[in-house]
């Protein structure tokens, strides 16, 4: 038990519930669950998953019993491993459209598939900073399984952990000019907005958000 690392579980709970609950409360609930499972665990390898599930359930109960309105932030993982910049664009749009009420991450990829100057240009035009620190790269972790995995390539292997899966057919930007990439960005924005609507997440048009930022 002493060798088990629960830091990924703790970090995941902060991500999901930190907008509604203080870290000290999350820590107290998680530590209580860890202590309880430590006494009865027979197969330690499964403990992080079991602890995460139980702690998340208790945190949700705590929120409801203390009159806090809201649910844990949903996780959407965007995968475009032949051109991850498309996934970065989609994640940026999801965060902006939802006013950061969801957690949007990008599937890991090889370094040679991370750059697309035209998509970065269009993101900059729309005030969507291509910041690798903001749009975290997600590796395969059961604890952090996404609520929705969005595959953006037609040949994308469906091998990422998630509760539900969506397949988008997003054209390759190879050989395109900036006007054509703007059209692709518009299509991605529409798809992201529709996905958020299916998850019952309120959205605002990117243009409206940008106008508010300029006014500020």
Q: Give the span between the Cα atoms of 4 and 105, in whole angstroms.
A: 25
Tokens of 89: 């664009």
Give the model's confidence band at 134: pLDDT under 50 very low, under 70 low, under 90 confident, else very high.
very low
Q: What number is the average pLDDT over the span 28-41?
A: 85
Name the burial class of residue 133, with classes exposed (0-12), middle (13-18) and buried (19+) by CB atoms within 10 angstroms of its CB: exposed
H runs (alpha helix) in 18-83: 23-40, 47-65
Which among 42, 41, 33, 39 has a CA at the least distance from the CA of 6? 33
Residues in CB range of 147: below 8 A, 6 or more apart: 74, 75, 76, 162, 163, 164, 199
The per-residue pLDDT for range 138-158, each reduced to its tens digit, is 555 555 678 899 999 878 889
pTM (predicted TM-score): 0.68
What tens digit of pLDDT does each residue of 77-99 get? 999 988 889 999 999 999 899 88
| Percent of the chain topping pLDDT 70 | 80
User: pLDDT band at residue 67, thresholds of 50, 70 and 90?
Assistant: low
* Burial call 92-116: b when 16+ CB within 10 Å, e when fewer: bbbbbbbeebbbbbbbebeeeebeb
206 phi and psi, to 5 degrees?
Answer: -60, -40
């Amino acid at each position: 038990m002493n060798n088990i690392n629960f830091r990924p579980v703790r970090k995941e709970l902060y991500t999901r519930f930190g907008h509604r609950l203080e870290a000290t409360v999350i820590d107290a609930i998680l530590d209580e669950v860890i202590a309880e499972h430590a006494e009865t665990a027979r197969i330690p390898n499964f403990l992080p998953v079991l602890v995460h599930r139980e702690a998340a359930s208790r945190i949700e109960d705590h929120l409801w019993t203390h009159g806090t309105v809201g649910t844990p932030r949903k996780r959407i993982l965007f995968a475009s491993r032949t051109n991850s910049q498309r996934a970065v664009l989609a994640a940026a749009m999801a965060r902006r459209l939802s006013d950061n009420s969801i957690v949007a991450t990008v599937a890991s990829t090889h370094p040679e598939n991370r750059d697309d100057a035209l998509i970065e240009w269009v993101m900059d035009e729309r005030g969507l900073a291509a910041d690798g620190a903001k749009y975290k790269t997600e590796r395969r972790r059961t604890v952090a399984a996404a609520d929705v995995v969005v595959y953006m390539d037609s040949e994308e292997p469906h091998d990422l952990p998630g509760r539900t899966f969506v397949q988008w057919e997003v054209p390759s930007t190879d050989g395109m000019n900036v006007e054509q990439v703007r059209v692709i960005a518009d299509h991605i924005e529409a798809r992201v907005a529709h996905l958020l609507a299916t998850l019952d997440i309120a959205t605002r048009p990117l243009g409206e958000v940008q106008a508010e930022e300029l006014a500020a």
